Amino acid sequence: MPYEPPTHTVERSLRATTGAKVIAGVDEVGRGAWAGPVTVCAAVTGLRRPPEGLTDSKLLTIKRRESLSEELLKWVTSHALGHASPEEIDDLGMTAALRLAAVRALEALPVRPDAVILDGKHDYLGSPWRVRTVIKGDQSCVAVAAASVIAKVQRDKMMAELGVDHADFGFAANAGYPSPVHKAALAERGPTPYHRLSWAYLDALPQWRHLKKARNWADGSVPEIEGQLGFDF
C-alpha cells in the first residue's frame, strides 16, 4: 500500500518556534507484549534526506525493516536505546515504565536534545523535557520513523536471544506478544522470568494465577493495550 514518506516538518517548526537545535525523535516498542521489556529509541537525524522507504516499522516487512535498520544505524546523527524491564513494568505501571525507558534513551545520547518529538498523543515524558507529541509521528516525522525502525529491530533481536532457553514460547517469532504458540506454552509451562506478572492474562490461568503481582502503581495507569487483557482462546 502506498504511503507518504515522513518529512522534517515538525522538526523545522520546533527549530523556528523554540530555537531548538538538537531534536530527538522518540518511539517505543513492546508496550502490548506479555513478555520482555518495553524499549524506547531516541534518534537524532538533523535535516538530511533519509534512506529510501523510511516509514513506521509496522508498515515494513521483516526483511525490509532489518535492512533499513542497518542503513539507519549508519545514517542517523546519533541514537540510543532505553529499556524498562518486566519487573519495572510490574512495579511502576506502564506509563512510568515508558518514561523510565525514554529518559534512559535520551540521557544516553551524546548530546542532550533541546526538544523531543514523541510519537502518539500522550506526553509520558513531561518536565523538564520540551516535548511535541505527534499522532502517527512514526509515519510523518523522519526522526520518529527512524526511532521506530531501530527500536523494533533491536528489541526483536533481544527477544530472540531471551527465547533461546524458552523455545516453546516462540519469542523469536512473536517478540513476547500473545501469539497462539506463546499462549499455549504459557498455559502449559507458566510464565518465564521475562513475563510481566501484573497483567490480566494470568487471570485466565488458574494453575499460575498465584504468581500474579498486585498492582500498586503510583500513577494509576493500567496497561489497556489491545491483546494483553485476556486469553481469548
Provide the annotated binding site for a divalent metal cation: 27-28, 119
Comparing CA positions, the residue from 208, 209, 207, 203 lying closest to residue 229 is: 203
- Annotated binding-site positions: 27-28, 119
Helix (H, G, I), strand (E, B) or coil at 131: strand
Q: Among candidates 130, 105, 128, 104, which has minimal Cα distance to 115?
A: 130
Pairing, β 38-44 against β 78-84: antiparallel
Give CA–CA dist 60/144, Å, rounded. Answer: 15
Between CA 117 and CA 106 the distance in angstroms is 12
Distance (Å, rounded) from C-alpha 121 to C-alpha 119?
Answer: 7
Q: Are strands 23-29 and 38-44 parallel, antiparallel or unpaired?
A: antiparallel
Query: Alpha-carbon distance 165 to 89, whole Å?
Result: 22
DSSP of 25-52, one letter per residue?
A: EEEEE-TT-SBS-EEEEEEE-TTPPPPT
